[in-house]
Every structure is written in C-alpha cells, then in structure tokens.
Amino acid sequence: MFVKLENGVPTEWPVAVQRIRFEHKSVSFPRDMSNIDVRPYGFAPFKYSDPQEHDPQWQEAQELTPVEVDGVFVQRWQIVEKYTAEEKEVLVAQQAEAAELSAVASVRTLRNILLAATDYLALSDQTLTPEMAAYRQALRDITTHANFPHLQEADWPVKPE
C-alpha cells in the first residue's frame, strides 16, 4: 500500500499500486513494486498499524495523518473520549437503570412461569393444599423479598411435592 503525497505531505491513504499505474500510464512499472521508489511519482510506501488499547464503549480511535518512519508512512491513531464526564455519568446511570429493569423483568417472568405451572391446582374443582397455597403466595410476594430483583436460588420458595 502507498500514500499519495502533495508537497511531501500525505493527502490520501491507503492507495493501491493500481492508482499509481493509472495516474502514470506512460510509465512501465514492474509487476512487483515493493523495491521501486515511487516518490518521484507523488507516492510513498504506507504501513497499517493498530490503534492503542481503548474502551470502545467510552472511547474511539481516530485516525491521524501518517508519519514517516524510516522511509515508510505509518498509520497513526489518537484515542478520544466519546462523552464528557457529565454525559458519561448520565449514561452509566441509564445503563444501571436499564440493567435493574431487565433484572426485574427476568424475575417476574420466571415467577409467572412458576405460577402458571401450578395454576391447574387452583381451579375450582381442585383442592389446593395449604403448602401449595403458601408456595403460590410466596411466588406472588417474591417482589417484596429483600434481595429482589437480585435473587439467589435459595431466595426462591421451594415447590411442595
């Protein structure tokens, strides 16, 4: 790959070898141009690089103009914050609220499934045992549990036999 130069400064990158050939149709370039000095034609070798480690949720890598290192223009990066401190604080609070709402919804869904699995016992032609009635009531009351919505397995009522 190459960079296009104007007055020695990169203006486009990466540029494929076909671009050099297209812009200089009257020049017969060899198939392998890795050892050809293309500076007289307004181009120079280019090398990709990876951006520094960053948190893509809060930061982004912005590409900067390549710099020349040992005759090769190397891709550069700058890591910038996506949000101000105030914006980040609001977003973190929103994410925490969304996670809490998701946890509440998950617990309620599981509770509803467990209740539905015993609904047939609460029909008028069935006799509901006191243990089953207590179990179903405990399921309904699960939203008042001290650990709600972050329940452990031991926090759930045990279905009677």
Q: pLDDT tens-digit profile of 127-149?
A: 889 999 999 999 999 999 999 99
- How many domains is the chain built from? 2
58 in Cβ contact with 81 (< 8 Å): yes
**What tokens appear for 113 in the block?**
């499934």
Q: What 3-state class would DSSP assign to 12?
A: strand
Determine the Cα angle at 103 with ends 101 and 104, to 5°: 65
Domain boundary among 32, 59, 81: 81
Domain of residue 146, residue span: 85-155
pTM exceeding the 0.75 threshold for the entire prediction: no
Task: Indicate whether 75 and 127 sit together in one domain.
Answer: no
| 127 and 90 both lie in a single domain | yes
Q: Given this model, what pLDDT does residue 124 score? A: 75
Answer with the one of 52, 81, 110 that is the final residue of a domain.
81
Task: Answer yes or no: do 95 and 69 share one domain.
Answer: no
Residues 93, 135 share a domain? yes
